[in-house]
A = this chain, B = another copy of it.
Amino acid sequence: MPHPLKTLIDAADRAITAEDFDAVTEFYADDATLVVRPGLTVAGKPAIRRAFEAIAAHFNHSLKVGQGDMVVLEGADTALALMESTLDWIDKDGAASSVVRRATFVFRKSADGRWLCAIDNSYGTELIGAT
């Protein structure tokens, strides 16, 4: 059986691909943090929603997000998901583009046992020394 966080991240990826931003923000804690790109971080659901709208426009509304290998570590009601994240999109010239990142996501278990994303950093350890 896949780890519950794999199922959750799969659902979030589908919501991003479908540009269903109401559904996307439901995966985040109220005061979660999203790394939009190295040097640009936003916090809170309204800002995260706006960032995903901007990301969708940036990728010409063609972004497809997928998962590769994934490792989940759990401790003290938190979890660290390490995963290959694949981004596919069609650029402005109509060319198919793709990038693979090694992402790091932190989740918190809420009082009702539900996992919520606290920190979404799709750049993983690439951020070290990048900003």
Interface residues of A (CB under 8 A from B): 29-33, 35, 41, 43, 68-71, 73-80, 82-84, 102-104, 106, 108, 116, 118-119, 121, 124-125, 127-129, 131
Tell me the interface secondary structure of chain A in the complex: strand
Q: Which residues of B contact A118 (CB under 8 A)?
A: 75-78
- CB proximity of A51 to chain B, nearest CB, Å: 13
Q: Closest CB of chain B to A85's CB: distance in Å? A: 10
User: Shortest distance in angstroms between A6's beta carbon and chain B's nearest beta carbon?
Assistant: 13
Counted per complex, copies of this chain come to: 2
Partner of A69, one of B75, B104, B116, B129: B129
Give 7 nearest A-B pairs by CB, closest first: A33-B75, A76-B118, A29-B76, A102-B125, A78-B118, A75-B119, A75-B118
Bound CA span A41–B83, Å: 18
Please name all residues of chain B whose beta carbon is closer than 8 Å to the beta carbon of A76 when the two chains form the complex.
Answer: 29-33, 108, 116, 118-119
